[in-house]
Structure 1
Amino acid sequence: MFSLRSAFLIGLAAIAVGVNAETHTVHFANNCGFGTPTLIQGGNVLSTGGDVTFGGPLLGAIAYLQTGGCGFNGEGCTLIETTLRNPTSPGSGSSTDISLIPPHSFSVTSGFGYFGGCEPAGADCTFADCPTAFHVPTDTQVQVACQVNNVNLAITFCL
């Protein structure tokens, strides 16, 4: 029989699940005075500069400063690649990097940092040959991991 006590316990369980739901926010800081920060995932524009919060993982997203010379997927520009997700096993959490692998190329100084966990982990790229960016696909040492639930990402252009 369904009682008021049962309804109360179900309500508490729903609240507990909601409190523990996975969320991630991406924040942009554009210090350049020009351009439009752009966040794309799977061909969909998710943000053009405003903070955006996801109620779950953000898998395989890219960000760049659209200066008028960038292709839709950031071709010709400095690219930030990110996956934000809560780890389900060791090493399966968030990972972010800067890519200058052609057809991407240095356009503006760019950087990122995690917040809400893993501080001060991040990377900056201030010149075309910066050692903190992918230049070839085997530069995997430049990936910056974070193994904290609900971590957020700040992306900055023109550091």
Structure 2
Amino acid sequence: MFNLKSLSLFAATAALVASVRAETHTVIFDNRCGFGTPTLIQGPNVLSTGGAFTINGPLISAIAYLQTGSCGFNGEGCTLIETTLINPTCPGCGSSTDISLIPPHTFSVTSGFGYFNGCEPAGADCTNPNCDTAFHNPGDTQVQVACQANDVNLAITFCL
């Protein structure tokens, strides 16, 4: 039978184990263009303007692009990378990332991404306006790159 002291020790140990196993994801940028500002946005929030961004928990529906001065807040007029980084809880429900050129997005600079800390070498590059690795219309779902690894991270490169 647990006494109060044993229960407190058990709760502290459980909290420590849970904190060690907490979900985390990092997005990093490699801007090889010599211009522009890498931008990571989730909803109305700017999460990064070039520095590494780490989140403790899932990163849902984030977008990234190289702000060249001609991109709208949501990447309009530029090459867009869309991502959800989440630990899978069922088959096929983990992370997914893609490149989008669906209007109002358009090719602006060569862009690519790759997962690390799991799913290497999965990723995609788009080096021209007609690349077959990007969404050009909503039905191009084959360009989505999935990852079923826990705590996967994402590297985004501009001007490959």
Query: TM-score band (shorter)?
Result: over 0.9
Query: Which segment drifts farther, 8-17 or 28-37?
Result: 8-17
Partner amino acid, structure 2, of 1:12 = T
Q: Which runs of no fewer than 5 residues in structure 2 stay unpaired?
A: none
CA offset digits 1:31-63 (Å, max 9, x no partner): 000000000011110100000100000000000
Question: Secondary structure in 2 aligned to 1:120?
Answer: coil
**Within 1, Cα distance between the matches of 2:58 and 2:11?**
26
Q: Which runs of no fewer than 5 residues in structure 1 stay unpaired?
A: none
Partner of 1:2: 4
Moved over 3 A (4+): none
**Within 2, Cα distance between the matches of 1:43 and 1:33?**
27
Partner amino acid, structure 2, of 1:2 = L
Instruction: Give the drift of 1:19.
Output: 0.9
Instruction: Give the drift of 1:14.
Output: 0.9
**Within 2, Cα distance between the matches of 1:6 and 1:59?**
36
CA RMSD of aligned residues (A): 0.7
Partner of 1:82: 83
Instruction: Give the drift of 1:2.
Output: 1.1
CA offset digits 1:53-85 (Å, max 9, x no partner): 000000000000000010110000000000000
Partner amino acid, structure 1, of 2:108 = S
Instruction: Give the drift of 1:123.
Output: 0.1
**Within 1, Cα distance between the matches of 2:45 and 2:80?**
16
Identity of aligned residues (%): 75
Normalising by structure 1, we get a TM-score of 0.97
Partner of 1:122: 123
Aligned residue pairs: how many? 158
**In the alignment, does 2:83 pair up with 1:58?**
no
Instruction: Give the drift of 1:7.
Output: 2.7
Partner amino acid, structure 1, of 2:63 = I
